[in-house]
Structure 1
Amino acid sequence: MEHEQHQEIFQASIFTVAEARAAGLTGYRLRHGRLTTPTRGIRIWDGVTPPWFETLRAYSGLDGEHYLSHTTAAQVWGIWLPIWLTSESPIHITGRKGATAARRRPDVVGHRAALDPRDVVEVDGMRLTTPARTWLDLAPLLRDPFDLVAAGDALLQRADGPPRPEGVLGTNPLSTLREIDAVLGRRPAVKGIRTAREARGMLRAGVDSAPESRMRSVILAAGLPDPVVNQEVQLPDGRVKRPDLHYLQWRIALQYEGEGHADRVQLNKDIHRDDAFAANDWITVRAGHYLYTAAGERDFLGRLRRAIAQQSRRFG
């Protein structure tokens, strides 16, 4: 058995000294010439680049009460982040205030904070903050408040929606609005709490993607009515469609056309979808990547307001 444990440790590309000692390895063997020490307490085979998740498990397993957090935890959970925050380095680790965690290490950003037991979890060999707590920790880091809404919506995606990113932890939905509210209540004075509370009012369950969140955030920020999110609509001719957003009273469907919609099969589906709406006196208002610019927002809102005015005259 001991030999098998030795073999398992030495087959791993990265492991902690504590794991090695628990498996019965001596200090002499831990000074093997092919083992390198990226940071105290961890060993890596020379010339090997460990997979990121294995690296996270090793750092998470270091002695002390600390947890993967912030953008690192967000990527582990598959929470949407803007591209400029999706780097694997540095690793964010939060230690409990008063504990000997979150120490300074190469390629690590250490944080100290109050950690309620309800805000941390151990999954798949990793200790990390819960999705709801992770979202709150993102509030000071996201420059655009609409991005915080998109990250929050990612916690609330429907179970039967698009597949999650490959390799991430958890299943949809990752959290609930009640759990998010509970985390906000436990952290009333934390940095970014005001931004998080404002974003919380714009979160909605069932959003399929960050661009859809962006579209809805632009609408709400402009003072327009809250559209329905990703619900099926039965048209008068019996056909059933699921627009990204819609206003049933005005028969307006709102669609975000991302890069995937340029695919021939998807393009044909989009054409048939829009034809079905048009045949039943609906108007489709589309948005694209330009929605991430001020000029794009104005253009989209102008078209939406004209559609509302036109359909209001028709249907009241």
Structure 2
Amino acid sequence: MPTNDDFAFRVADARRAGMSRRAVDDSALDRPFNGLRALRVEDENENAGQRHPLDLARDAHVRAARQFTVHMHAHEFFSHSTAALLWNLPLPAPVPDRIDVSVAAPHRAPSGRGVRGRQLSAAQVSIVAHPEGFSITSPASTWAQLGTVVKHPYDLTAIADAVTRTPRIAGPNGRVLRPAYATVAELSVELRRGRRIGVRALEEALRRTRAGSASRPETWTRLTIVDAGLPEPVLDHDVYDDRGRFIGCVDLAYVDLEIAIEYEGDHHRLDTAQWNRDIQKHDDLAALGWRIIRVTKAELFDNPGELIRRVRGALRSRS
């Protein structure tokens, strides 16, 4: 939801309300877009030093989009990378420095500093109301626009995984947090809505989409393993002991062989409560005879051969 950091106002509205030109042009205010002013956001906040630069860049892009809504026209809507970030889809680096604002033909694409205007065919986009109130392409339609924007095929699959995932709290008393944004079938329908740029890459990504992946690294882990010729692991698997006690949910698993593959993201390291839960879960899994392969960011993205070696070794030892 919008925060005070997202607040912006139109210069024309401020002047009509009696704000002086000097106050409007105060150096304490940012100028995110032509004719807009916004509260300045300090970079030296208490969490900035602990957060990844990519997360900070995503936040800045989303903040700019929310500020732009102040003078968005009724026929304009967010699309492409901006829509992906507003839907919290795992758009990879680099984050664009301009926001994507589109119109359906015959309207003219917007222009101006900080804006990438696009004119799209009305037959090829599904426009919906975002929970925050502005117009935006649907998650499925957004994914179908990214065929040439997102370069790595694993990332196109990761975004489709995110669109089709049903977020849940694991365990016997768990619950669904929200429905999936779309099904694989609905993504397929989007691809058939006219001529798509990058359709071959999108079709291949859709073929490899699985609804159980909880993050971009989990998708990359799965595809790295499969592309090495190893069996495809199960995703988002709940483990119980012989008495029916819930042990935990593992990211990827070879269930019959009792092999768990867990991606250790930054939140596992920085969140003390999460760290303690992970330790307890892994101890309980080991006590049940499970073998646990913990995957780091450096290994997955910089040294995937080591990941493949460890998974292959675990499979051989259990087969």
TM-score when scaled to structure 1?
A: 0.75
Task: Report the residue type matching 1:275 in the other structure.
Answer: D
**What is the match of residue 92 of structure 2?**
82
Task: Report the residue type matching 2:127 in the other structure.
Answer: V
Q: Retained in 2: the 8 A contact 1:119–1:129? A: yes
Q: Retained in 2: the 8 A contact 1:215–1:291? A: no
**What is the match of residue 111 of structure 1?**
118
- CA shift in 2, pair 1:307/1:14, >3 Å: same
Q: Report the secondary structure of 1:79's partner residue.
A: coil
**What is the match of residue 44 of structure 1?**
36
**What is the match of residue 219 of structure 1?**
225
- CA shift in 2, pair 1:105/1:44, >3 Å: closer
**What is the match of residue 229 of structure 1?**
235
**What is the match of residue 258 of structure 1?**
265
Q: 1:244 aligns with which of 251, 259, 266?
A: 251
Q: 1:308 aligns with which of 294, 298, 315?
A: 315
**What is the match of residue 209 of structure 1?**
215
Q: Retained in 1: the 8 A contact 2:264–2:294? A: yes
Deviation at 1:210, TM superposition (A): 1.7
Q: Retained in 2: the 8 A contact 1:68–1:127? A: yes
Q: Distance in 1 between matches of 2:18 and 2:267?
A: 51
Task: Report the residue type matching 1:286 in the other structure.
Answer: R
Query: How many pairs were matched up?
Result: 276
Q: Retained in 1: the 8 A contact 2:64–2:99? A: no
1:279 aligns with 2:275: no
Q: Distance in 2 between matches of 1:100 and 1:171?
A: 34
Unmatched 5+ stretches in structure 1? 1-11, 163-169
**What is the match of residue 8 of structure 1?**
none
Deviations 1:247-306 (A, max 9, x none): 112111110011222344433322322222222222111211024435x21100111011
**What is the match of residue 151 of structure 2?**
143
Let me know the Cα RMSD of the aligned residues.
Answer: 3.2
1:62 aligns with 2:41: no
- CA shift in 2, pair 1:228/1:179, >3 Å: same
Unmatched 5+ stretches in structure 2? 1-6, 26-30, 42-62, 171-176
- CA shift in 2, pair 1:101/1:172, >3 Å: farther
Deviation at 1:13, TM superposition (A): 3.6
Task: Report the residue type matching 1:62 in the other structure.
Answer: H
Q: Distance in 1 between matches of 2:135 and 2:220?
A: 31
Task: Report the residue type matching 1:254 in the other structure.
Answer: I
* Structural mapping, 1:48-197, within 5 Å: 52-59=64-71, 61-62=72-73, 65-85=75-95, 87=96, 89-97=97-105, 99-116=106-123, 119-123=126-130, 124-161=132-169, 171=178, 173-187=180-194, 189-197=195-203
Q: Distance in 2 between matches of 1:143 and 1:31?
A: 49
Task: Report the residue type matching 1:182 in the other structure.
Answer: V
> What percent of counterpart residues are identical?
28
Q: Retained in 2: the 8 A contact 1:216–1:227? A: yes
Q: Report the secondary structure of 2:89's partner residue.
A: coil
Task: Report the residue type matching 1:306 in the other structure.
Answer: G
Name which one, 1 or 2, has greater alpha-carbon Rg: 1
Deviations 1:60-79 (A, max 9, x none): x326x332111111111111
- CA shift in 2, pair 1:299/1:54, >3 Å: closer
- CA shift in 2, pair 1:56/1:155, >3 Å: farther
TM-score when scaled to structure 2?
A: 0.74
- CA shift in 2, pair 1:310/1:212, >3 Å: same
Deviation at 1:198, TM superposition (A): 0.9
Q: Retained in 1: the 8 A contact 2:300–2:307? A: no
Q: Report the secondary structure of 1:245's partner residue.
A: strand
4+ aligned runs moved over 6 Å, structure 1: none
Deviation at 1:206, TM superposition (A): 2.9
**What is the match of residue 304 of structure 2?**
297
